[in-house]
Structure formats: C-alpha cells, structure tokens
Amino acid sequence: MEATKACSATDYKPGLEGVIAGISSVSVIDTERDTLLYRGYDVRELSEHCVYEEVAYLLLYGELPTADQLAGFQQKIGSQRSLEQPIIDAMVSLPKGVNYMDALRTGVSLLGHWDTQAQQLDHEANVEKAIRLIAKIPTLITTVYRAQQGLPPTQPDPSLGHSANFFYMLNGQKPDALTVKTFDISMVLYAEHGYNASTFSAIVTCSSLSDMHSAITAAVATLKGSLHGGANEKAMVMLKEIGAADKAEAWVMDALAQKKKIMGFGHRVYKHGDTRAPILKELGRQLSEQKGDATWHDLADVVEQVMMREKGLHTNVDFPAAYVYYMMGLPIDLYTPLFAASRVAGWAAHVIEQLDNNRLMRPKSGYNGPAYKPLKPLAERG
C-alpha cells in the first residue's frame, strides 16, 4: 500500500471549506438576495426593526415573538442576570491581567454547577438554560472587568433592556439612546452566523450528549482563537496605530507592500461584501455626528477606499464594529467577549437543534502516515 494514496485529494477539504456537515434551519446566507437570514428573516430588517431580545427569541423558538411574548421574555432575562455569590467570588479572584476570554470560558463552566437543569438534555430544559446563559454572560463579563479595574461589581438592573443593562453594569451609568441603539444593533448582527468554528465546536460537543454549558464553554474557547474571534480588536489596534485620516493611505500602502494582513477585510463566505458591515458603518457616522468628532469614521473610510481600490476587498462586520465600539467607550479587550455575549443565542439555537435530532459527530480523517511496518522486538531495535 502506498500511504499517500490513502487520502484522496478530491475528498479532503482543508478547514472543511464547502463541506456540508449538517442540516440547519437557524440561518443561511441567501445568495440570491446577497444577505444573511435568521430563520428566514433578513438580518438587515431585523437590525432595523427588532431589539436583541426579539432576535434571541427568534433564534431559540423559531418565530418572532408577539408583544406579550417579548415582554415575558425580557422579564425572564431581566430576572436571571444575577450571579450566585460563589461565582462572583471566583470571577473577582482571577489573577490580575487575566485574558477576558479565558475568564469568560471559566465563568460559563461555573454557571453549569449552579444550574439545576444543567444535566437535562430535553428541548424545554435546553431553551431555559439558553435564556439563563444569555442573561448571565454579560454579568460575567462586567464582573470580571470591574474586578480587574479594582472596582466592585454592579448589580444588574432588571428594569433595563439587555443592551442598556450591559452599559449600566460596566460603568454604573445608564447610556444615552444612540449608544443603546448602536450596541443593540451590533448584538443583533453578531447573534448568529451558521456553522462557523465556534458554533461547530458547540455542535460537536453536544453531539456526544454532553450538556448545554459544556457546549457553550467549548464555543467560547474556540472563539478565543485569533483566526475566529478578535478581528475587531485587532482592527481597532490597527486604526489607533494609523492615528489619522491623512496618514491612512500611506500606512495601508506600506502595509500591503510588506504583505501585512489588513484586519477587517474579506470573508470566507461573503464574496460581494458582508451585509452587516454597512449597517454599523452608518451607525458610526451617526455617533461621529453626535460626538462632534469624525476622527475614527473618516480614518476608517480612507482605509476602506484604499483596500477596495488596491485589493478589491470589502469590509466585514468586524471593521466598523471596531471603531463603533471604541466611540462608545468600550474597552478593546472586551470586544471578543461581547461577540460571545451576542453569539450565545446562535450557539444555543444550534445546540438545541442538534440535541433535538442528535447523531454523534464522527468524521473520517485522511491518512498520510507510513504503510504497515513489521514490529521488531525491543532488543532488535536501534
């Protein structure tokens, strides 16, 4: 046997690119409309007309809520935000300088110990656990962030919406209307995106009949990786390095000449531009007008123009998210945890879908090792 023939080049797809690994009703990129659909609804329409809680309800239950259903859902989320004291103590005691994604991974795992339905895998229990995770993950993030700054945790306010409450827990102040709107829309846009790496890791984990908390912990761990999460953080670091719009073109041209990666451009599954990016770009313009400071919006616009001219690349959602978050005063090292706080709704929807009709994920691997070799006794080796 020739070992190299054991793995067919036509069968193997690096990174599983283009491989259908499952059937899902949660979301799809509609190539005819060139947009992303959640349960059949265009993400552009959802971001314009729905708050995050409506979209989370849609992802978990399969349909948009009525007014009464939304009110009940929001009330349930508001009532579930608080953390048990041992979890608070653990978050506060993490070492100084901890990576916030590591902290979040630990926090999600801890939540499972205090969830009375943690080991139940039926549909109803999974939905209830998902709601609690949506409610509590922002509290985990703000608790550990404030502890790292030497500040006590801020207790959640159940009267506030999901996005407004996050800002209140982060800095103890209720945000203005445009900040709430902008952040909420970003949460809608990040909530779901098919079989990406973190979602797929959650699906693989629960397919062994592991539980929701284990699956979401695996998703958080996967999102931490720099090839998946973190692009918006790196994009903002890049924009800060450029510093001003009149320096942007020269900076980009120099970076391209050195074959450096320009963060926030291109996407494996979007060929004609990320539908979500223009939405956040417009919100960035509105924030600039409100603040009377267009520094970041103008700088980013030049980078975008040069990249289109030189490389024909569109921005993805992470590029405008970077400076939009920065203009709202959000710390750069919280950008990826905030991605997780949004995406947990999509992760959970896929976990629920998988466990409703489960089959263990067990793909094959191609073999490129040596052919059979006879075993020599220990005394005859070497």
Active site residue ranges: 267, 318
Q: What's the rounded Cα separation, in Å, for the pair 50 and 67?
A: 12
Cβ(262)–Cβ(307) below 8 Å:
yes
- For 59, half-sphere exposure in the C-beta direction (CA atoms, 13 angstrom radius) is 35
- For 233, half-sphere exposure in the C-beta direction (CA atoms, 13 angstrom radius) is 19
Cβ(348)–Cβ(132) below 8 Å:
no
Strands 41-42 and 35-38: antiparallel
CA angle 304, 310, 312 (to 5 degrees): 70
Cβ(26)–Cβ(38) below 8 Å:
yes
Give the 3-state secondary structure of residue 200.
helix
Which residues, in sequence order, are CB contacts of 309 under 8 Å at separation 6+? none
* Three-class SS of 99-145: CHHHHHHHHHHHHHHCCCCCCCCCHHHHHHHHHHHHHHHHHHHHHHH
Nearest CA to 180 out of 340, 41, 290 is that of: 290
Cβ(129)–Cβ(213) below 8 Å:
yes
Q: What's the rounded Cα separation, in Å, for the pair 41 and 28?
A: 10
Cβ(330)–Cβ(177) below 8 Å:
no
Q: What's the rounded Cα separation, in Å, for the pair 100 and 103?
A: 5
